[in-house]
């Protein structure tokens, strides 16, 4: 695994020049192929220098490399693209360390370092002056929940004498300790009531920032929940109903919030919060079906949400606005893109044969096992998810457009990026189900 880290470090010279942009993307695909040739197991394998992978980190690292290659496609020729490539590179470096480290402390340090390139991305390449407030929200939310976790990790190190995941055990029923351990991952997912930074960050970030934020960054919280759940089972068994209830109610309320949005990117960002609520519920059931379903939903949402942000950016480039009230009637003026909108909106509401459909079926089974009346809330969440996905498609594709000219042409590179997002959504269920 250390070879991946050194490979990423050796990509720095290639990322310094814009003309090597596609070589940079080709290197991400080489890393993807390299990962596909590695055998992963249910326990840590390929261990080197405190780095190793299991089945969860394996697929998240693969998703990081794929979405990073899509990010390179989305970077248009313009202001300081070489700096964007370097920011993308360092984001990948920290993400690989987060997903492959065997030590909680290494994970925490990389967890914090990821914040720096992301804030630079929002402040440097954001669209409007409000990006300053978006960066401040992201910084403060992460800072205030992370510092207590550092103190807790030092306390646990004094008790256990180690920071390795498979050796840290602490049977405590103190809610304060459980709260510190959970809230840092809940903010990163994010959970309802600590989600206010996400819509602001998504709307103000450039398209490449939105793609990596929705595709990979939100998955750090789910990965942290999975890791800490295996270490501190007694605390999860005692207090998981609290987070479960908040996520269940919050996912329904966020579905209603999506229906009143006037900004395309804002609505896609809020739909991410609703889906992440289902991920939290699946993990907290502490059943194998819930764990598998949440993990599959994280992978499916990563590709689906990233593709939807890319589609929203195509509208923004051509119309100059992200407003629903301006981007209407696109089926007449961008007919070549309408089918892609339909597929992504259908997959966002978890229609078969996407990976989201299988994952939500597993999460529903685990929720019924955890609390039988969860079915009522699940029906409500699924209904509102279908409503806002239909609202997004119908409002953007139908109606009367405000201009008199047509820009129906979509170039081949944009179609390539959209189709590459769809391929994992179709074929990942077969691959992952075989591995599990």
Where along the chain do its domains lie? 2-435
Q: Determine the 3-state secondary structure of 48 from DSSP.
A: strand
Q: Return the number of other C-beta atoms located less than 10 Å from residue 17's C-beta.
A: 13
What tokens were used for 386? 């279908």
Q: Residue 81's CB: how many other CB atoms inside 10 A?
A: 19
Instruction: Using DSSP, state whether 305 is helix, strand or coil.
Output: helix
User: What whole-number distance in Å separates Cα of residue 370 and Cα of residue 269?
Assistant: 28
Which two structure tokens, joined as six digits, stand for 218?
A: 């939100």
CA dist 241 to 103, 245, 284, 295, 338, Å? 28, 6, 8, 20, 42
Residues for the chain: how many in total?
436
Q: How many C-alpha atoms does 154 have within 13 Å on its Cβ side?
A: 6
Burial of 161 (0-12, 13-18, 19+ CB in 10 A): exposed
Q: Helix 233-258 and helix 175-188: axis angle, to 10°?
A: 40
pLDDT at 407: 60
Cα gap 103→52, rounded to integer Å: 10
Name the residue with tokens 């070589």.
Answer: 23
Task: Identify the bridge partners of residue 45 per DSSP, sorted by sequence position.
Answer: 53
**Contact by Cβ (8 Å): 359, 406:** no
pLDDT the model gives residue 280? 94
Q: Please give the DSSP secondary-structure letter assigned to residue 20.
A: G
pLDDT number for residue 79:
56
The pTM for the full model equals 0.93
* Tens digit of each residue's pLDDT, the chain (436 residues): 788 888 888 888 888 777 777 888 888 988 888 888 887 766 777 788 889 888 889 889 999 999 988 888 887 655 578 888 888 899 999 999 999 999 999 999 998 889 888 888 888 888 778 888 888 888 888 888 888 999 999 988 888 888 888 888 777 788 888 899 999 999 988 898 898 898 988 888 888 888 988 888 888 999 999 998 888 888 888 899 999 999 999 999 999 999 998 899 999 999 999 999 999 999 999 999 999 999 999 999 999 999 999 999 888 888 888 888 888 888 888 888 889 999 999 999 988 888 899 899 999 999 999 998 999 999 999 999 999 999 999 988 888 776 655 565 778 888 888 888 888 888 766 666 655 5
Name the phi and psi angles at 180, rounded to 5: -65, -40
Separation CA 7–CA 158 (nearest Å): 35
Three-state DSSP at 263 gives: strand
């Amino acid at each position: 695994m250390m070879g991946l880290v050194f490979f990423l470090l050796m990509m720095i010279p290639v990322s310094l020049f814009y003309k090597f942009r596609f070589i940079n993307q080709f290197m991400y695909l080489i890393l993807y192929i390299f990962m596909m040739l590695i055998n992963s197991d249910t326990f840590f394998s390929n261990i080197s220098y405190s780095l190793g992978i299991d089945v969860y980190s394996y697929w998240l690292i693969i998703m990081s490399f794929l979405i990073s290659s899509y990010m390179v496609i989305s970077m248009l020729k313009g202001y300081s693209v070489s700096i964007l490539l370097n920011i993308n590179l360092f984001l990948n470096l920290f993400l690989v360390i987060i997903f492959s480290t065997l030590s909680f402390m290494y994970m925490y340090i990389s967890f914090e370092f990821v914040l720096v390139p992301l804030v630079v991305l929002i402040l440097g390449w954001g669209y409007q002056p409000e990006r300053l407030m978006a960066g401040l929200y992201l910084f403060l939310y992460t800072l205030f929940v992370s510092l207590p976790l550092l103190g807790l990790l030092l306390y646990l190190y004094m008790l256990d004498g180690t920071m390795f995941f498979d050796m840290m055990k602490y049977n405590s029923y103190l809610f304060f300790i459980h709260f510190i351990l959970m809230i840092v991952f809940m903010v990163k997912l994010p959970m309802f009531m600590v989600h206010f930074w996400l819509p602001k960050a998504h709307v103000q970030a450039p398209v490449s920032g939105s793609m990596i934020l929705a595709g990979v960054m939100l998955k750090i919280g789910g990965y942290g929940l999975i890791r800490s759940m295996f270490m501190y089972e007694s605390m999860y068994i005692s207090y998981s109903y609290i987070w479960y209830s908040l996520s269940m109610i919050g996912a329904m309320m966020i579905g209603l919030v999506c229906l009143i949005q006037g900004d395309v990117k804002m609505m896609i960002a809020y739909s991410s919060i609703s889906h992440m609520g289902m991920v939290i519920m699946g993990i907290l059931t502490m059943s194998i079906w819930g764990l598998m379903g949440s993990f599959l939903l994280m992978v499916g949402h990563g590709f689906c949400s990233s593709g939807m942000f890319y589609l929203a950016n195509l509208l923004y480039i051509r119309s100059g606005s992200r407003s629903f009230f301006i981007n209407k009637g696109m089926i007449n003026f961008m007919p070549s893109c309408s089918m892609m909108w339909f597929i992504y909106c259908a997959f966002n509401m978890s229609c078969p044969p996407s990976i989201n459909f299988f994952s939500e079926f597993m999460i529903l089974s685990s929720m019924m096992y955890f609390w039988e009346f969860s079915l009522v809330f699940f029906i409500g969440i699924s209904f509102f998810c279908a409503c806002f996905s239909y609202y997004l498609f119908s409002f953007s594709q139908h109606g009367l457009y405000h201009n008199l000219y047509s820009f129906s042409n979509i170039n081949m590179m944009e179609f390539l990026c959209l189709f590459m997002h769809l391929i994992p959504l179709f074929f990942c269920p077969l691959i992952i189900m075989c591995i599990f």
